[in-house]
Structure formats: C-alpha cells, structure tokens
C-alpha cells in the first residue's frame, strides 16, 4: 500500500497509475440538482430493515466507504445495511455491507468523533460514473478556513418490497430485477456520485470554498429531494463557529461550514464535504474534507458542523489495512 509513512504504513507498492476524485462537468437548501453521475464517489446508505435510504456515504476505496457514526444505532449490524452507488442510471448497483466500524470514541451526546466506516462484501466496480474520492493526505495540516467547498446529501424513502430484507447481491430480485445488477437500482434512487481523499501536508482550509451534496429536505420541515442536491459553502474558523454554535462544544476534529440561506438539511447526514485544490487546476480532483454531522436547523444563520477528515486519516488507514489509497 502506498501511504505516507506518518500513518505507519509500509510503502511496498506505490500506486503510480492510481486515480481518484474524478467527476463529471455539467437541492439541499437553496442548492441545485447535480448532473447525472456528476459525483462518482457519492453513494447512499440504505437501512434494509426500514427500507429507507437514511444517509449519504462516500466511496474511498474498492470496498470501503465513510459516513457519520450517528447514521447507525448502538446495536447496528452490518447485514442490515447496503450501499447504492452510481445513481439511477445503468451504472446503479447495490452492495451488501459486510462490516461496519463506528469510531470507538464516538459520543452520541456531543457528536464528537462522528465518523464510521462501512466495508462491502464485494468490491465496488469503478467506472467514469462510480469511483473513489481522494483523501486529503497531502493537506493534513490545513484548516481550510475560507475554502469554498461542495456539500452533497442524501435521504429518500424507498418503495421496496419485503423480499429486499433478505437481500442477496447476486441471486435475489427487486421488482423483478436481480439485486446486484446495474438494472436493479433504477427503482431505488434518482442520483448518486463519488469523491476523493486528501494527503499528508495540508493547511487549515479556513475560508476555502467547498461543496455538499444530498437528498435531504429542501427546507426545514419540507419534502425530501428526489434528486441528489449540491450546495457551495465556505469553511469558517472553529473560533467563529463556537461563538455561533452555543449548544455544543466545537472540537478541533470538526469543521464548520456556512453560507447564508444555504445548508445541508435533515437527511443529508453522512454526506461528503468536497473541495478542489485550486493550485491543481489541470486535474480538478475532488478531495473529501468532511462528513456532514449536525446543525441547529436548515439554512439559518448558524454554521453547520462536520467531521474533519484530516483528523481521522490515521484511524481510517488503520481500519482499512487491506485497502489501497491514491495519494494525489
């Protein structure tokens, strides 16, 4: 695996031809519909018992995805979950979860360490429409304050038949279509896409623009979106965020985002906070900076709080020892 030595990984096989964070050019609150397969790393976490797409989740490697810990309950079992990739297109595919790892220090009251990893039984098939996000290994020391970011979110109630509870990614059928096939998921969702991970030399990302995506509510108490939504937000400092968010302590392992009248909303939990490195205009790769965690409401004057991925790179690598990551 090729990862920075600061993550205690033996660099035995450098991934010289690897790739991540690709995307296609072309409603969260005041957001816009994404283009078809615009964000290949974006996926949906499906609760098979509730027959509902409950959270956003981001592809980071062939078998691993990252989401928020609060998307699960304390006794959650991996067999009760699946992930849907590729949006509602011919590339849509459902993958049964094999293992789930909630951060051991996750606190459901304070939302500290709100991060979890899902491993699929089968390897995810990559294409132009489905692929891993870049992790910010090269940017682990940045705050990203002031960065412009993209937020993506997810939540749709799925009309699934009872047999979906006994999902077999190869043999079972959903509405007459084999589960695990590209054709099985066109009755589940309208949009999905995937992002990239960051590298070990970062700054703080304060004031950096970023984007979020999701299928959450279009406004507080309103209907859920049936098409993946994205919105551009700005990373604000934790000090400013703490002044505004008075009900919760803001930890250094968290990242706050804000834009007036724009925000993630209920159902966007676990979705990605994405960022482009403006100094790499030729590649325009997307990096995963955060996981949507919580906020006081939708698109009010209070910043939203997200789990800061750079604070958990070592943990992610240690929990996914059989994965290969592309350092870009």
Position 176 in a domain: no
Q: Specify the higher pLDDT residue, 211 or 216.
A: 211
The Cα 285–Cα 257 span in angstroms is 20
Q: In CATH, what number is assigned to the domain containing residue 289? A: 2.40.10.10
- How do 156-157 and 64-67 pair as beta strands? unpaired
The Cα 323–Cα 310 span in angstroms is 18
Nearest to 150 by CA among 60, 239, 28, 67: 28
Query: Could you tell me if 325 and 9 are in contact, meaning their C-beta atoms sit under 8 angstroms apart?
Result: no
Position 70 in a domain: yes
Determine how many CB atoms are found less than 10 A away from the CB of residue 242. Answer: 16
Tokens found for residue 89: 């297109």
Q: Specify the higher pLDDT residue, 38 or 222.
A: 38
Position 197 in a domain: no
Position 5 in a domain: no
Give yes or no for residue 160 having a pLDDT over 70: no
The Cα 267–Cα 67 span in angstroms is 12
pLDDT at 98: 97
Its domain, for residue 233, covers: 42-158+209-319
Q: Please tell me whether the overall predicted TM-score, pTM, comes out greater than 0.85 for this model.
A: no
The Cα 225–Cα 190 span in angstroms is 10
Give yes or no for residue 17 having a pLDDT over 50: yes
Position 298 in a domain: yes
Secondary structure of residue 307 in the 3-state scheme: strand
**Beta pairing partners, 229:** 33, 214
Number of domains in the chain: 1
Nearest to 73 by CA among 111, 108, 44, 105: 108
pLDDT tens, position by position, 221-280:
344 445 677 788 899 999 999 999 888 999 999 999 987 655 455 446 899 999 988 776
pLDDT at 277: 81
Query: Could you tell me if 129 and 38 are in contact, meaning their C-beta atoms sit under 8 angstroms apart?
Result: no
Burial 255-288 (b: 16+ CB within 10 A, else e): bbbbbeebbbbbbbbbbbbbbbbeeeeeeebbbb
pLDDT tens, position by position, 138-156:
998 899 999 998 888 644 2
Position 101 in a domain: yes
Position 21 in a domain: no
């Amino acid at each position: 695996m090729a990862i920075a030595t600061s993550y205690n990984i033996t660099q035995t096989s450098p991934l010289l031809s690897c790739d991540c964070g690709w995307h296609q050019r072309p409603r969260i609150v005041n957001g816009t519909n994404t283009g078809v397969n615009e964000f290949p790393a974006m996926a949906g976490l499906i609760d098979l018992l509730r027959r509902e797409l409950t959270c956003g989740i981001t592809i980071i490697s062939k078998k691993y995805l990252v989401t928020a810990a609060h998307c699960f309950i304390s006794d959650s079992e991996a067999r009760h979950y699946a992930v849907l990739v590729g949006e509602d297109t011919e590339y849509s595919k459902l993958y049964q979860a094999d293992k789930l790892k909630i951060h051991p220090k996750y606190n459901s009251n304070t939302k500290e360490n709100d991060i979890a990893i899902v491993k699929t039984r089968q390897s995810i098939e990559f294409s132009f429409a489905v692929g891993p996000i870049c992790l910010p290994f090269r940017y682990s020391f940045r705050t990203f304050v002031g960065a412009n970011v993209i937020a993506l979110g997810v939540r749709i109630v799925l009309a699934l038949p009872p047999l979906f509870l006994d999902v077999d990614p190869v043999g079972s059928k959903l509405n007459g279509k084999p589960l695990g096939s590209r054709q099985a998921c066109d009755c589940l969702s309208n949009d999905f896409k995937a992002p990239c991970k960051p590298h070990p030399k970062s700054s703080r990302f304060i004031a950096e623009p970023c984007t979020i995506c999701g299928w959450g509510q279009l406004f507080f108490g309103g209907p859920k979106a049936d098409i993946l939504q994205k919105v551009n937000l700005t990373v604000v400092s934790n000090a400013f965020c703490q002044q505004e968010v008075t009900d919760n302590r803001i930890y250094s392992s968290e990242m706050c985002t804000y834009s007036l009248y724009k925000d993630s909303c209920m159902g966007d939990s676990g979705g990605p906070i994405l960022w482009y490195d403006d100094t790499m205009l030729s590649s325009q790769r997307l990096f995963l900076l955060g996981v949507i965690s919580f906020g006081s409401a939708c698109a009010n004057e209070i910043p939203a709080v997200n789990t800061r991925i750079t604070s958990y790179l070592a943990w992610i690598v240690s929990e996914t020892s059989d994965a290969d990551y592309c350092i870009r």
